[in-house]
């Protein structure tokens, strides 16, 4: 009796295995994972924490249309929102899914599903961490962004006061964004040796990434932190010479904190060339920003997709070994990099000459 049951069960199990074997073979045979012109490309963007994300949707729609693809661009307000967006792109059968991560460490399951379904995963602007399931990463050179910010901070302070030591404070972006530590490490590669020599001082004593990161890239958080540091460390007349700010949104909040505390506005750096910051740069309130043309960045991803649609296994401009920018904790993701441009009052008109909106702002036109 018992033996019969066992044999019966084994037979069912074998039949089941054969069935799954068949169906998965059929699926992989019919799944053509090569992207083709006319296919829909999913683009999962994060929350609009800065103007570049607002611009990104139109940049992708234009570039994808121009290259002969259909687009499905979606924002997410939260991590779970983005996980659902990616899952639905996988279910719809998108052949390529471009992801600018809301939280780079929380997408492992979703990119594994995408790969299993035969999709190509491209991390865009922000890397996706601790997974092997990312095929490419297209972004501006983030380490270089940090180095340029630090150099601008030094140049700005020197122009105001010929010799140091200078008092500075440090701000970084959100610890959930893989870019934030890369920006910070790039900046610290320039600043740390000078801090060690005593040419730069950080009077708050807050110098580690975790101490200076800004939850959610939210300017309310950076303004509160700056206000607290001013109250504790600078209300006795100590001069604050400069602040490393990772982007324009946070930079403006730092400027506001200084103004509200009645402090002379220090040299403040930025990033993104936001329309709200360019007038401040031109009138000397904010010292610098970085120009990362969002259209160009979207085009870089779309060029990559076009190369893949031609069956290219080594698409143009892809570096397979840039550990500094593209190591995600498990693999160095093949990386297509763009070069960021430092912008101050001195080169703004020139730097924005390919962008009528920004050029007009730099020229002071309304």
Between vectors from CA 108 to CA 332 and to CA 123, what angle results, nearest 5°? 50
Q: Among the residues of the chain, which ranges form H helices? A: 2-30, 51-66, 79-92, 108-116, 142-160, 178-197, 209-212, 219-229, 248-260, 278-282, 294-309, 323-326, 348-351, 356-362
- 50 part of the interface to ligand BGC, by CB under 6 A: yes
- 181 part of the interface to ligand BGC, by CB under 6 A: no
- 103 part of the interface to ligand BGC, by CB under 6 A: no
- Shortest reach from residue 294's CB to ligand BGC, in Å: 9
- Shortest reach from residue 22's CB to ligand BGC, in Å: 45
- Shortest reach from residue 139's CB to ligand BGC, in Å: 7
Q: Which of 179, 222, 309, 344 is in the footprint of ligand BGC by CB under 6 A?
A: 179
- Shortest reach from residue 138's CB to ligand BGC, in Å: 12
- 219 part of the interface to ligand BGC, by CB under 6 A: no
- 322 part of the interface to ligand BGC, by CB under 6 A: no
Q: Which of 72, 94, 125, 322 is in the footprint of ligand BGC by CB under 6 A?
A: 125
130 touches 167 (CB < 8 A):
no
Count, residues near ligand BGC per rule CB under 6 A: 12
- Shortest reach from residue 247's CB to ligand BGC, in Å: 4
Q: Which stretch binds ligand BGC (CB under 6 A): 34-42, 91-99, 171-179, 280-288?
A: 171-179
Q: Which of 43, 45, 49, 83 is in the footprint of ligand BGC by CB under 6 A?
A: 49
Between vectors from CA 273 to CA 270 and to CA 278, what angle results, nearest 5°? 90
Neighbours of 286 (CB within 10 A): 28
d(CA 260, CA 179): 30
Among residues 336, 53, 57, 42, the alpha carbon closest in space to that of 216 is found at: 53
- 271 part of the interface to ligand BGC, by CB under 6 A: yes
Q: Which of 52, 102, 277, 293 is in the footprint of ligand BGC by CB under 6 A?
A: 52
Q: Which of 69, 217, 287, 335 is in the footprint of ligand BGC by CB under 6 A?
A: 217
Q: Which stretch binds ligand BGC (CB under 6 A): 44-52, 113-121, 205-213, 321-329?
A: 44-52
- 177 part of the interface to ligand BGC, by CB under 6 A: yes
306 touches 107 (CB < 8 A):
no
Decide whether 171 or 217 has the Cβ nearer to ligand BGC.
217
- 126 part of the interface to ligand BGC, by CB under 6 A: yes
- 204 part of the interface to ligand BGC, by CB under 6 A: no
Q: How far apart are the first and last CA of the chain?
A: 90
236 touches 201 (CB < 8 A):
no
- Shortest reach from residue 241's CB to ligand BGC, in Å: 24
Among residues 128, 125, 103, 126, the alpha carbon closest in space to that of 114 is found at: 128
Which are the contacts of 85, defined by CB distance < 8 A and separation ≥ 6? 44, 74, 76
The two tokens of residue 34 are 């090569």
- Beta-bridged to residue 44, according to DSSP, are 74, 99
- Shortest reach from residue 126's CB to ligand BGC, in Å: 5
Reported as type and span, the H/E element at residue 289 is strand 288-291
d(CA 231, CA 14): 73
d(CA 217, CA 102): 11
- Shortest reach from residue 203's CB to ligand BGC, in Å: 26
Decide whether 35 or 73 has the Cβ nearer to ligand BGC.
73
- Shortest reach from residue 50's CB to ligand BGC, in Å: 4
Decide whether 104 or 307 has the Cβ nearer to ligand BGC.
104
- Shortest reach from residue 325's CB to ligand BGC, in Å: 12
Q: Which residues bind ligand BGC (CB under 6 A)?
A: 49-50, 52, 125-126, 173, 177, 179, 217, 247, 271-272
């Amino acid at each position: 009796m018992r033996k019969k049951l066992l044999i019966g069960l084994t037979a069912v199990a074998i039949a089941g295995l054969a069935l799954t074997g068949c169906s998965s073979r059929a699926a992989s045979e019919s799944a053509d994972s090569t992207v083709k012109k006319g296919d829909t490309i999913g683009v999962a963007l994060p929350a609009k924490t800065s103007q570049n994300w607002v611009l990104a949707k139109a940049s992708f729609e234009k570039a994808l249309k121009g290259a002969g693809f259909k687009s499905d661009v979606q924002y997410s307000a939260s991590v779970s929102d983005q996980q659902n967006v990616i899952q639905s792109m996988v279910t719809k059968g998108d052949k390529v899914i471009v992801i600018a991560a809301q939280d780079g460490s929380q997408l492992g399951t979703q990119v594994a599903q995408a790969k299993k379904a035969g999709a190509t995963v491209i991390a865009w602007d922000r890397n996706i961490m601790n997974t092997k399931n990312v095929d490419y990463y297209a972004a501006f050179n983030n380490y270089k962004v940090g180095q340029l910010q630090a150099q601008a901070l030094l140049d700005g302070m020197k122009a105001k006061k010929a010799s140091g030591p200078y008092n500075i404070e440090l701000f970084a972006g959100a610890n959930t964004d893989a870019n934030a530590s890369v920006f910070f490490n790039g900046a610290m590669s320039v600043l740390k040796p000078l801090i060690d020599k005593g040419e730069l001082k950080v009077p708050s004593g807050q110098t580690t990434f975790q101490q200076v990161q800004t939850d959610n890239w939210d300017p309310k958080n950076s303004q509160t932190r700056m206000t607290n540091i001013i109250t504790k460390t600078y209300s006795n007349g100590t001069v604050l010479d400069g602040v490393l700010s990772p982007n324009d949104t946070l930079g403006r909040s730092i400027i506001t904190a200084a103004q509200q505390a009645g402090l002379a506005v220090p040299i403040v750096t930025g990033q993104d060339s936001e329309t709200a910051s360019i007038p401040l740069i031109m009138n000397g309130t904010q010292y610098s920003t970085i120009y990362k043309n969002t259209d160009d960045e979207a085009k870089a991803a779309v060029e990559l997709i076009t190369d893949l649609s031609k069956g290219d296994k080594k698409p143009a401009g892809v570096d397979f070994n840039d550990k500094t920018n593209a190591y995600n904790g498990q693999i160095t993701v093949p990386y297509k990099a763009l070069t960021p441009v430092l912008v101050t009052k001195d080169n703004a008109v020139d730097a924005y000459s390919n962008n009528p909106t920004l050029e007009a702002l730099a020229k002071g036109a309304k």
